Amino acid sequence: MAKVRKNIILQGVSGKFAGQVVFRQLRDGRTIMAAVPDFSHRVLSEAQKAHHSKVKEASAYAKVASKTHPIYAQLAAGTNKNAYNVAIADFFHAPVIHEVKREGTLVMIKASDDVMVTKVSVTVFGDEGVLEKSDAVQEGGTENWTYLLQHAGRVLVEVYDLAGNVAKAIMNDEE
């Protein structure tokens, strides 16, 4: 793949040329020239088909989300990415739970995401089922969330991001 910079002949050129070469313009002004790909004899595995399906879902999400959630445009500003690219990446990356700990009746959760954590839900289970379920409270725009327990039991923490991905952690009663 050749990269062309400041060439008066190829400046602004994009698309297929003579059925052999493809030109593509990047956001930073560079032109990329590559051979035309040939997918005519490719046979996809089931895993590849599943991934293609997931990419289609991500694309459908990003088309809408990149226009309705300004945070994607904010994160793309100053990079070679656009809001659509950031939304696609968010679709594929679930939030991360770094820590869940309990001090008495207070549950403290530390969680992050590549874009933003939108909600942290806490569910407490006892022998007879769900004892309580509610959302944790974020501490001043940080990665820290807290929840005050009303019952003792096994605690399920669910962390959600803007794209709807969920990360889960379970803390037993004795932890």
CB atoms within 10 A of CB 10: 16
For 64, the enclosing helix (H) or strand (E) is: helix 46-68
Rg (CA), the chain: 23
Of 146, 140, 147, which is closest to residue 124 (Cα–Cα)?
147
Q: Locate tokens 């929840």: which residue? A: 147
- DSSP for residue 37: P
CATH annotation of 96-171:
2.60.40.1220
- Tell me which of 23-32, 34-43, 115-124 is least confident: 23-32
Q: Do the Cβ atoms of 109 and 119 come closer than 8 Å?
A: no
pLDDT at 62: 96
pLDDT at 38: 86
Q: What is the pLDDT of residues 91-148, one digit of tens each?
A: 999 999 999 999 989 999 999 999 999 999 999 998 889 999 999 999 988 899 999 9
Locate the domains of the chain by residue range. 46-91, 96-171
